[in-house]
Amino acid sequence: MHPDGYFALILDPSSAEILRRRFCTLPRPIAHHCTVRYGTKDPADLPPPFTESDLGRAFTLEVTGYARRQDGGVEAVVVGLLLADGTLVERGFTENAIPHVTVATDGLTEPATANDLLCAGFERIRGPLLLARLEHTWASSRDEPLGA
């Protein structure tokens, strides 16, 4: 974990549970957050459309894709940011090439490998809406209790 932590859209408990129930097929559920900007605690580093005043604010994410690594190491959902005017932003609101939430791992695979998984391709789906809050954190996906 970077000493400055990171900004993320942290899923509310009911949204995390939706992902676990609908998409989790692996033994180590995560479904915790969508990373926005890693390795900083300076709100000036937030990518657009976010500003410092958005910290603590709730946002809506829409699931738009799903992938599971062939060996069963990691699975993730692709998400878009639903703006107040109804526009779905699918890229650029996170530093990841493909905005996503890592749903689960096999317990051995690093959750960050979801980035490579999704860059290799994913199934487009029309999934549920998720609620998340923009926060700064030092929490690690590895810190999440099993099944939480």
Structure tokens at 35: 């990373």
**Residues 56, 58: Cα–Cα separation, whole Å:** 7
Mind listing the pLDDT tens digit for each residue in 8-48? 999 999 999 999 999 999 999 999 999 999 999 999 999 99
pTM listed for this prediction: 0.93
Q: For residue 20, which phi and psi values (nearest 5 degrees)?
A: -60, -45
Could you tell me the pLDDT band of residue 2, with boundaries at 50, 70 and 90? Answer: confident
**What is the tens place of the pLDDT at every residue in 50-75?**
999 999 999 999 999 999 999 999 99
Give, in words, the CATH class of 6-139.
Answer: alpha beta
Is 43 in contact with 86 (CB distance < 8 Å)?
no
Nearest alpha-carbon partner for 94 in 5, 6, 1 = 6
CA-closest candidate to residue 23, choices 71, 61, 74, 59: 74
User: What does the pLDDT read at residue 145?
Assistant: 41
Sequence spans of domains, the chain: 6-139
